[in-house]
Amino acid sequence: MIRKNGIVFLFIMMLLLTAVVGCGTEEGGTEESQEPAVESTDLKDGTYQGRAQGHNSEIAVEVAIEEGKIASIEIIEHEETPVLVDPVFEDVKELMESHNSINIDTVSGATISSIGFRNAVKEAMVEAGATEEMLDQGKKISLDHGVALEEKDYEVVVVGAGGAGLIAAIEAKSQGAEVAIVEKNPFVGGNTLVSGGEFNAPNSWVQEKMDVEDSVEQYMEDTLAGGDYEADEELVRIMAESITEDGEWLRDYVEVEFIEDYLMHFGGHAVPRAIYPIGGSGIELIQKLQAKVHAMDIPVYLETEAKSLILDEDDRVVGLRAENPEGENVHFNGKQGVILTTGGFGANIEMVQEYNPVIDERYKSTNQNSATGDGLRMAQDIGADVTGMEYVQTYPTCNPNTGHLSYVADTRFDGAILVNLEGKRFVEELDRRDVISEGILDQTGEAAYLMWDTSIKENSNMETYMTEFEALEKDDLIVKADTIEEAAGFFGIDESTLKDTVERYNQFAAEGEDEDFQRRGALTALEEGPYYIQKVVPAVHHTMGGLKINKNTQVLSTEGTIIEGLYAAGEVTGGIHGKNRLGGNAISDLIVFGRRAGENATR
Ligand SMILES: Cc1cc2nc3c(=O)[nH]c(=O)nc-3n(C[C@H](O)[C@H](O)[C@H](O)COP(=O)(O)OP(=O)(O)OC[C@H]3O[C@@H](n4cnc5c(N)ncnc54)[C@H](O)[C@@H]3O)c2cc1C
């Protein structure tokens, strides 16, 4: 715990350091006085194009050379992940232009995109007359996202710029508070960015349009049953009663756009109730939240990692100690409070195993690398209580090479079946994620094969995820074939048993009842080629456990008392999902409790 003397000493050190190294900036300052790598005379004036492989596909650029120097770089084609790639296409690009050099640091968390972008610009410059040696010479220019080395005074400080954090900050600012966000990544978004962005809401405007009958009580019952009745009923009720109005706030105030005539029906829900953002991903949520945060002038300190909480003499949380990119201490004072929205610990395998030793090295993770449980540790260090830490959710249909959650495999929700290498079904495809995951690991090769036909494809959102589809194809993890035999043969699945399985399933579809696994919802026959088969494995996906909070999002101590000044929302908290989170409920949770944390911290 850091007390006042330490703070004064640090403050003086920071002022001294500020004088020596100068101030960084919020969201991407740049370092000055670097040597240009390419002399002006080396390049012929003109406009040149270059392309190179990025993370998702090729990046194409157009480089304008004027007076022998880079005048401008334009990105003309790419499919990199928006937001994640912003520091590359903004900061790195700006440094290349201002320094007439491609010798810039890669962006951590977006390394492959950085390299792809550099190589594309390099190709254009070679075209303009530069040689490889010329391009590689000169000092490497570093990216500097640092914060000014001084104490920062705010009323509310939010830790983590994922969905919960951005929402909490917007709400706190709307209530009139001076608020700042501290984020350890060089970009905002956290797991929310890579999520599907779908969230459940009973009696929503989309359900109304689609004539789906639902109720708050039914949603509560599904959520409680899905978590084996281990969830905190009071928190579940708040989520169920508030999410529809809060979803409208997201739509109308933050201007997030949703598909108005489509709902996802995640496992464990009695009716389809998950609202689907355009693009079928959290990118839409994060881009709009980020735009709102900018419009409201809320500072976001990137690459700034919160390390510990600061208490006053009365043990009230009044700020936090963070480290800037140079590893130097920075203090963020939040006299009204600190909101922890640091997400879960699904990417911290040691921490997962500490609480749940059953999860072993067979599991990869769907999470961003930054989901390491920092907020939990920081709060536990000052006496916070945790709940449900052993409840770790795995997601059944992930990429066997990377652990990434497969959105192409969402065809499961539209009718695809799961089979094993022997060509047999082994589980109800809409069962809980933990049940399907364990079922998959019991099969030969600890993997399963998801199969669908063209009619299922056409009723699904598969076309939205063609970049992923092509990557899977390149890695031999998916096959599209005219016949069932051909598709089965690609993976060595028993062809004749698979044909029998499909025939039997089609019979169930005709009769409207799945006699083998009682699949819920409508059954769709698989009878129209081409057929698709995708290899899938489970991966660690969500950590249901976390900080114990009360209905006002205040963090509770191990003694059951309120830790004054400390609030939490999103996956860093526990209790809302019990033993198992139903699909679409994490985003509902972070919207509802993110808003409440922002509001309560300003009271
Ligand atoms: C691939 C995938 C798909 C998903 N799809 C869905 C879905 O469709 N619907 C649904 O309901 N749920 C989904 N989920 C779950 C859901 O996305 C997450 O539970 C939710 O986004 C967590 O939001 P959050 O704001 O709590 O944390 P995050 O969005 O993870 O944000 C936490 C932020 O805190 C930052 N941070 C962490 N430690 C520090 C520190 N020490 N200092 C500063 N910053 C720090 C992180 O870098 C990160 O930016 C999905 C999850 C994944 C991984």
Number of H helices, E strands in the chain: 19, 24
Q: What is the pLDDT of residue 325?
A: 79
Nearest-CA residue for ligand 1 atom 21 is: 192
* 135-153: average pLDDT: 67
| Residue from 51, 118, 425, 433 carrying the catalytic annotation | 433
342 lines ligand 1 (CB under 6 A): yes
Q: What is the pLDDT of residue 56?
A: 87
Average pLDDT over residues 585-603: 97
Answer whether 104 contacts ligand 1 (Cβ < 6 A): no
Nearest CA to ligand 1 atom 4: 195
pLDDT digits (tens, 9 = 90+) for 44-90: 999 999 999 998 899 999 999 999 999 999 999 999 988 889 989 99
- CB neighbours of 135 closer than 8 A, spacing ≥ 6? 37, 38, 102, 103, 122, 125, 126
- Cβ atoms of 216 and 565 within 8 Å: the answer is no
The protein residue whose alpha carbon is closest to atom 20 in ligand 1 is 192
Give the residue-averaged pLDDT of 271-282: 95
Q: Ligand 1: distance of its center to the CA of 164 in Å?
A: 8
Over residues 64-74, the pLDDT tens digits come to 999 999 999 99
Q: How confident is the model at residue 577 (pLDDT cuts 50, 70, 90)?
A: very high
Q: Which residue has the higher pLDDT, 462 or 144?
A: 462
22, pLDDT greater than 60 = no
Q: Is the pLDDT of residue 139 over 80?
A: no
Res 13: pLDDT: 33
pLDDT, residue 38, reads 54
pLDDT digits (tens, 9 = 90+) for 92-110: 999 899 888 898 888 877 8
Quick check: is 377 catalytic?
no
417 Cβ contact partners less than 8 Å away, ≥ 6 residues apart: 425, 429, 450, 451, 452, 501, 502, 505, 526
* Listed residue (8, 1, 24, 7) closest to 327, CA to CA: 24
List Cβ neighbours of 482 (8 Å cut-off, separation of 6 or more): 529, 530, 531
Q: Are 337 and 179 within 8 A, CB to CB?
A: no
Please state whether the predicted TM-score (pTM) of the whole model is above 0.75. yes
Residue 267's pLDDT is what?
A: 85
- The whole-number average pLDDT for the span 237-263 is 97
Any ligand 1 atom below 6 A from CB of 545? no
Q: Is 553 in the pocket of ligand 1 (CB under 6 A)?
A: no
568 contacts: CB under 8 Å, gap ≥ 6? 339, 340, 341, 375, 379, 546, 547, 549, 553, 555, 597
What average pLDDT does the segment 210-220 reach?
Answer: 98
Assess whether the C-beta atom of 178 lies below 6 angstroms from ligand 1. no
pLDDT in tens, 312-336: 989 999 999 999 877 888 999 999 9
Q: How confident is the model at residue 486 (pLDDT cuts 50, 70, 90)?
A: very high
Alpha carbons within 13 angstroms on the beta-carbon side of residue 463 total 7
pLDDT interval class at 33 (50, 70, 90): very low
